[in-house]
Amino acid sequence: MLERKMEGTHNISVFILSGFGKMDTIIYFYFACTLVLFLATVFVNIVLIAVILLEESLHEPMYICLCNLSINELFGSYSLLPHLMANLLSKARTISYTGCFIQIVCLHTYGTIELITLTMMAYDRYIAICNPLRYSIIMTKPKVYKLLIFAWLFSPSVILIGIALSLRLPLCSSTIEKLYCDNISIVKLSCAETSINDIYGLIMTTIVIGVPLIIIIYSYIQILNVCLKISKEARTKAFHTCGTHLLTLLSFLTGAFFVLIGNRLSSRTAPAFVTVILSLEFLLIPPLINPTIYGVRTEKIRNAIGNILRKRIL
């Protein structure tokens, strides 16, 4: 019923995802790569979630945030990859009007929650290193759960307002130059004035990206100041603890930076495959490598995996 109403309003029932281009000759290779990537992403994230849930020693704020990070990355992967694989095997390579906006909500929510969670993890490291005696008072489990609930409520709410502004726009085209839907692609298809959408997008980008980045930068400046004053052994331990989070953060921010560049490019200024790759890195790489980085570099997680395997074998 909703889809019929939308079709009547915009006279568009489906969007064409032109980012696939002409890849018919090696389509099964792309499908196989995407399938392997999807299965690997699901596997590593489920393993990490299971280890954190099963091992009581990991029921701490940092690992609760890490568990949420993996849940969110599963959410983001399921929002993109199954439909992407279906389109790879399809000749139409389209997405319904309603499905497009659902995907926008899911993918934008994934990105917002990812950054909020990484910000919480940076703040957690700041308190643990700069105020260790007050850590148990400041970073309590109830407080962490409340912040994570806020993230899951705030993120879709912000996106839905942007979606509401986009739904009112008359669209002059149904071709999206990507492999998936995002809000800026819909705004670009409009043949009406989009200044309200642009202003709202700028304000929300500043809040959603700017505020977390300020908190993260402040946290690491304070951590660096403390590390310069402590012993070499303590400094090495602190850098190792923060290094894992920094790798995860850089992976996400690099992908987000690529998306921002890709959104500013068009088929006239750059080859289509360049904009496609830039837009996909943000959604494909962090969900796969983040849990892998934590699983390899974090001693408590490695020990927890060993303990669980020994218990199952015995």
Give the separation between CA 291 and CA 285, rounded to whole angstroms.
11
Lowest mean pLDDT among 157-161, 173-177, 238-242: 238-242
Rounded to the nearest angstrom, the gap between the alpha carbon of residue 279 and the centroid of all alpha carbons in its chain is 12
pLDDT tens per residue, range 199-224? 998 899 889 999 999 999 999 999 88
CA distances from 43 to 77, 109, 216, 248 (A): 12, 22, 29, 18
Question: How many CB atoms are located within 10 Å of the residue 132 CB?
Answer: 10
**Alpha helices in 131-231, H assignment, sequence order:** 135-138, 141-167, 183-188, 195-205, 211-227
SS3 192: coil
- Give the largest Cα separation in the chain, rounded: 69
Give the structural domain span for 72.
2-313
Give the separation between CA 59 and CA 67, rounded to whole angstroms.
10
Question: How many CB atoms are located within 10 Å of the residue 183 CB?
Answer: 21
pLDDT tens per residue, range 139-150? 999 999 999 999
pLDDT tens per residue, range 33-90? 899 999 999 999 999 999 999 888 889 999 999 999 999 999 999 999 999 999 888 8
Which pLDDT value is given to residue 12? 82
Report the domain count for the chain: 1
Higher-confidence residue of 239 and 288: namely 288
pLDDT tens per residue, range 260-296? 776 666 555 556 666 677 778 778 888 998 888 888 7
**Mean of per-residue pLDDT scores for the chain:** 85
Cβ proximity of 104 and 183 under 8 Å: yes
Half-sphere exposure of residue 261: CA atoms within 13 angstroms, side-chain side: 15
CATH code (residue 252): 1.20.1070.10
Which pLDDT value is given to residue 311? 75
